Amino acid sequence: MRVRVLGACVAVGAAAVCGVAPVAEAAEPADGPYGRWGVHAPEADLAYHGAASMAAGWVDVRFTPRNHGPSAVPDATVRLRWSEPLVNRQALPDGCARSGARVVLCRVGALDADGLGEQVDLRVRLRGEPSEVLLEMDTVWSGGVVDRNRANDRQRVLVLDTGDSYYF
């Protein structure tokens, strides 16, 4: 375990009070078996599998979250990013919200160990009618559970404006 010195200033009225304090730092990375504060975190393995298609600027995405375990996930959120901006007004399903011009966050909820979640169906409209769009998905929150295998919860799918389904 390493120790580093952390400096901080706190505003008190019109003045600032500054100081330094030693902070213990775990030797393992933040996504190791120990959380940011050195407390053992349960492990899970989240994955998202589904399909995306595009026609005339409309992108349909459906995916099912899965937890390969070994621990349950109390709650999780997935981020979907498009390489093209979305139109300003979107009708999104419950549990999904805009988080920028090209980003939507969707809550996938709790996932049992070695369990499937509810399928998420999402339809978004892109600005203009691009001939292709890159869709990137990843977990942005997993309720404090550590996922050492980030390869299967990060997806990149090139979707062409053909109406065909592209599976991931």
Domains of the chain: residue spans and CATH: 46-167 (2.60.40.1510)
Q: CA 15: distance to chain centroid? A: 39
**Residues contacting 100, CB < 8 A, separation 6+:** none
The tens digit of pLDDT for each residue in 100-158 reads 999 999 999 999 999 999 999 999 999 999 999 999 999 999 999 999 998 899 999 99
pTM of the model: 0.76
The tens digit of pLDDT for each residue in 19-32 reads 333 333 333 344 44
Q: CA 67: distance to chain centroid? A: 14
Cβ proximity of 126 and 84 under 8 Å: yes
